[in-house]
Structure 1
């Protein structure tokens, strides 16, 4: 079951990343209805931040799938070593994603 949930999270995150411009436009249109607080919320909800959130969702789904396949456990566990392995896998993934994102920003700014 965890593999299916992880794959679903990866697919939804990938779709969210692909449609981040449309989502941010819908967010701006929706938040303009609420006056000044809505304008502040619309400034934060840019396509860049929706893309970052979508990539984290893909990473969380991938960590779930990898953990489930490596440990062979498809349900919850109270084992501390299994929890530590999950944290390590997620941390390595976050570092890799951060490096890729930093390189992309550096290349874009250096042009």
Structure 2
């Protein structure tokens, strides 16, 4: 099952990288309709950042596949400590990404 998830992440990341310019245009068009906050979000949602996100998704998919093949684990763990570690790592990651996004918005807005 993990291998399928990894392959799906690679395919979606590759499609996202291939269409990063189009996604960026759609993002700008949609966000500008939502007012001032949308305009600020549109400034950060450039093709460069969508490309970086797509590459990270491809790497995450490859990492998932490699980990599954090396360890032989299929992702069916019911261990509570493993689940807690995954939740903590995901929460820290979201906080870090949210902080980076907020700082980028603040820096772009303070330049104007």
With normalisation by structure 1, the TM-score equals 0.68
The CA RMSD over aligned residues, in Å, is: 1.7
* 2:30 equivalent in structure 1: 30
**Alpha-carbon offset, residue 76 of structure 1:** 3.9
* SS, match of residue 34 in structure 2: helix
Q: Which runs of 5+ in 2 are unaligned?
A: 86-112
DSSP 3-state at the match of 1:74: coil
Residues 1:73 and 2:73 aligned together: yes
Partner Cα distance (2:75, 2:50) in 1: 30
- Give the alignment's TM-score, normalised by structure 2: 0.67
The equivalent residue for 2:100 is none
Distance 1:30 1:21 in 2: 14
Taking the aligned partners of 2:9 and 2:72, their CA distance within structure 1 comes to 19
Aligned-residue offset at 1:39: 0.7
Q: Which residue of the partner structure matches residue 21 of structure 2? A: 21
Q: How many residues align?
A: 81
Verify: 1:47 aligned to 2:47, yes or no: yes
SS state at 1:34 partner: coil
The CA distance in 2 between the partners of 1:75 and 1:43, in whole Å, is 38
Task: Give the secondary structure class of the aligned counterpart of 2:24.
Answer: helix
Runs of 4+ in 1 over 2 A off after TM superposition: 76-80
1:6 and 2:32 correspond? no
